[in-house]
Structure 1
């Protein structure tokens, strides 16, 4: 069953040293960002500010690791986007689950200044039983799932496993011993699921996985608001009011309110902000109040970075409640 839930951002800049942030901002953020956001100017002008934000990011990962270590999951199930790492536009499914036995491979985020094809490879084991059961269960619940029987990346050369899992799994389980399952939800490319469908997906995931004996950790990877592509919005813009609203709904377990997101098209809800869909799905699956660990608008990462948890339920006797 699902006992512990986590959610976090996965932006590339989170793994880049803060000493590189300021020049990265000068080189990459869109015109007008420094004029619109006093916080962006503070980050551009102060190494100390950048170092403090980097410390907070990795304090967030530390807290998540502690939750994982205390819970001791048998499997980690990720919900997040592909973003062209595994798929290309010749086949870009709305929803996919890898169910094969082959090892998955990808790259962690710290070798930021090395071309992707030359970075160290990190390997991940798929939990075949859980992933297969999840795929079959979703089909029974009227979700059209693309089932991947082989790990054969067709997206960006050398990327492999989507960074929603490849960057985050090593942070949660540095040993690499806990098998993972990837639920790949299209969050970038039209046509896109609305918030209601994402909430329905989360409820279905919970219905399936809560019938199993394994101790399951469910993770939303991505978000919050950000615009990594100049084609869609200004790189470096962060919608803090939207992020605050989402986090408040998570803490109040107001999934019905979250499900209203993405019900109409808006430039402000496109691009990376679409990764909030994973948070909606996991919030619906957990179906109880979450707790925000930290939030910070980091313009050097182009992202409203957030960490959240739904702590593991504890029985009266002090052990994890697996009823």
Structure 2
């Protein structure tokens, strides 16, 4: 019977990889220190495999198919962000066993033998796994392309994975890679709900999860917490055990949290004694997705272009070098073409239906590419 020897939930913000100058370096260091601290737990517990539960920022899958849950079964997997890349071995035997096991338990996940993963996987591979030669089983959860699964469905998938693991002999670590409150690419980008994060941490310190699991996907959209879906899968695997906070940092746009569940740590009285209001005092009012809406089919071409800027280095380089030519060649509507030519921020595109995460990510990688080209010219 498999033994779950370590489990944590952890931030994966791309700023931890790119270290932009406008971020507080001390807070970035505190976040990566928390990730590395859990890496040391892997040395102590010696897992045979890591279940790495991450999400897709529209880097792996595209609008040709939007799976709710995906198991990756290639012999190895590549994770990237801009020019940073890592390769990890995949425990394909266990991955195939879990795939069959959850299907036998009435789940219908997607599987891929040819998936390229994004920073939700690169960040924990870089700062938690590091140079440790531990194979992984990558599992993706859809959190940004509505309709998304419910917290209870994610938890139930975790329970099915746990039941399938019971048939195996491995020592297993579980890492849920997902952020706390943030609204990337939206008008609320610099207004995360830190009070909601505080309530989540307090609930986890007590091992209380019923109210969290009762939230709807629209509720998660309202408070910027959809990435907690990866945490809910992990909780289904390990059970509703208390979590102990390793670090929490309030950045201008994002709550960075790292929580260790297993091995159990001494409880933190700060959070056990916390009297945070339910939901951090928030009253839910949304009746439909507002920040991350269902992408209207009419917006496919602008979203396709943003996606190419993010994932295709040559296309991104050409876009930064000669934006007008690249925009003219794209099958865009006039208002989309104008928005791309008239602003550096891409923010106007979200009002036209571009997915906020694509608009933000395209802006970030284009800025980094612009800096690279400027440095190249300076060196030349």
Using the size of structure 1 for normalisation, the TM-score is: 0.76
Alpha-carbon distance, 1:58 to partner: 2.3
Alpha-carbon distance, 1:84 to partner: 1.0
SS of 1:85 mapped into structure 2 = coil
In structure 2, how many angstroms separate the alpha carbons of the residues matched to 1:295 and 1:65? Answer: 17
1:275 to 227, 230, 235: 227
Equivalent in the alignment of 1:84: 58
Equivalent in the alignment of 1:254: 208
**Residues 225-264 of structure 1, C-alpha deviation per residue, up to 9 Å, x if partnerless?**
101112xx42122111211121122222222222112254
In structure 2, how many angstroms separate the alpha carbons of the residues matched to 1:145 and 1:284? Answer: 16
SS of 1:121 mapped into structure 2 = strand
In structure 2, how many angstroms separate the alpha carbons of the residues matched to 1:259 and 1:267? Answer: 14
**Residues 6-33 of structure 1, C-alpha deviation per residue, up to 9 Å, x if partnerless?**
1111011123336x025xxxxxxxxxxx
In structure 2, how many angstroms separate the alpha carbons of the residues matched to 1:289 and 1:180? Answer: 24
Residues 255 and 284 of structure 1 are in contact (CA less than 8 Å); yes or no, is this contact kept in structure 2? no
SS of 1:274 mapped into structure 2 = coil
SS of 1:21 mapped into structure 2 = coil
Distance 1:210 1:285, change over 3 A: same
Residues 148 and 217 of structure 2 are in contact (CA less than 8 Å); yes or no, is this contact kept in structure 1? no
1:195 equivalenced with 2:151 (yes/no): yes
Count of residues in correspondence between the two structures: 262
In structure 2, how many angstroms separate the alpha carbons of the residues matched to 1:5 and 1:185? Answer: 18
In structure 1, how many angstroms separate the alpha carbons of the residues matched to 2:217 and 2:61? Answer: 25
Distance 1:98 1:263, change over 3 A: closer
Equivalent in the alignment of 1:317: none
2:17 to 11, 15, 19: 15
1:140 equivalenced with 2:107 (yes/no): no
SS of 1:3 mapped into structure 2 = strand
Alpha-carbon distance, 1:274 to partner: 0.7
SS of 1:53 mapped into structure 2 = helix
Equivalent in the alignment of 1:244: 198
Distance 1:66 1:105, change over 3 A: same
1:6 to 5, 8, 11: 8
In structure 2, how many angstroms separate the alpha carbons of the residues matched to 1:283 and 1:248? Answer: 16
Using the size of structure 2 for normalisation, the TM-score is: 0.65
**Residues 81-104 of structure 1, C-alpha deviation per residue, up to 9 Å, x if partnerless?**
112111101011011101232x21
1:294 equivalenced with 2:295 (yes/no): no
Alpha-carbon distance, 1:211 to partner: 3.2
In structure 2, how many angstroms separate the alpha carbons of the residues matched to 1:263 and 1:82? Answer: 16
In structure 1, how many angstroms separate the alpha carbons of the residues matched to 2:4 and 2:220? Answer: 34
Higher relative contact order (CA 8 A, sep 6+): 1
Distance 1:175 1:267, change over 3 A: closer
**Residues 276-319 of structure 1, C-alpha deviation per residue, up to 9 Å, x if partnerless?**
111122123222111111111111xx2100001112379xxxxx
Equivalent in the alignment of 2:174: 218
Residues 199 and 255 of structure 1 are in contact (CA less than 8 Å); yes or no, is this contact kept in structure 2? no
1:131 to 95, 104, 110: 95
Gaps of 5+ in 2: 266-380
The CA RMSD measured in Å over matched residues stands at: 2.0
| Structure with the higher helix share, 1 or 2 | 2
Q: Which protein has the larger Cα radius of gyration, Structure 1 or Structure 2? A: 2
Distance 1:225 1:208, change over 3 A: same
